[in-house]
Structures are given as structure tokens and as C-alpha cells.
Copies of this chain bind each other. A is one copy, B any other.
Amino acid sequence: MSSPESAGHGSATQAPIEYADASPEVRAVYDDIMATRKSDWVNNYWKVLANHPPTLRRMWANSKEVMGPGALDPLTKELIYLAVSVTNACRYCIASHGAAARNKGMTPEQHAELVAIIGLANETNAQAFALDLQIDDKFR
């Protein structure tokens, strides 16, 4: 008797699509990722997204625009990304953006300060909720 909970067409985890197996459409995105990053490989996030090419294309366009050159320097952008990823407990994102931050020059001392700020902010956020703090007029 078949179980309604057993996977019908494979498990939830989708296999990453390697460059050699990718369609021209997917390869074009991989090529742009590597060229933009001056890198010779693509990480799993993109290779798994590639199972749905419109999402791969869309997310790369977003990432390229948001994380590209702007008013904030590249390292600061990665630290902000890390602060979100840690608060959400996203192990994959902490690993990938931690590596990116180190490549953009994050020192161990800066990492320690980053972790301390993230911890403190999570603490004071919770206290603000618990005490139902009213926003000061000067902040409005």
C-alpha cells in the first residue's frame, strides 16, 4: 500500500545542475556570475535555482543590481547580508556570505564585532518588545 507521505517524484531536495549539464540559457547566467565575480565556479544556490531557469535569471538580476557598486562599499554590503542571515539562522547563507565577506577583506576582529553587534541587537529588540516601548518624539 502506498503511503500518502512518501515522495511521489523524488525528494524535496533538488540536485544542483552542473555547467556541463546545463542548457544554453542556464550557462549564460553561470557565465555572467563567474565574469562578474571574477571567479571560475558557481555555488550551489545558483545551481539548485537552475532547476527553474526563470527564477535563476530573475534572482541573478536582482543580486547583481542590489549587491553591485553603489553608495555602500562591497564589504559593508556583505556585513549587512550576514546580519540578516544570522538573525534568520540561515546556515547556508552565513557560510556563503561569510566567505564573501572574508574575500572582501573582513578581518577576524571585524567578524568578532559583527557577531557582538548582531547579538546585542537581537537582545535589545526582544527587550523593546517585552517592554512595549513607545517611540520617542525625537525619533519620529
Docked-complex contact A13 and B131, CB < 8 angstroms: yes
Question: B-contacting residues of A (Cβ < 8 Å)?
Answer: 1-9, 11-14, 37-41, 43-45, 48-49, 51-52, 54-55, 58-59, 62-63, 65-67, 70-72, 76-77, 79-100, 102-104, 107-110, 112-136, 138-140
Query: A76 CB to closest chain B CB, in angstroms?
Result: 5
Contact yes or no, A130 B118, CB < 8 A:
yes
Residues of B with C-beta under 8 A to A84: 83-84, 87, 117-118, 121-122, 125-126
For the complex, what is the distance from the CA of A128 to the CA of B92, rounded to whole Å? 7
CB within 8 Å for A94 and B130 given contacts A80-B117, A103-B4, A113-B71: yes
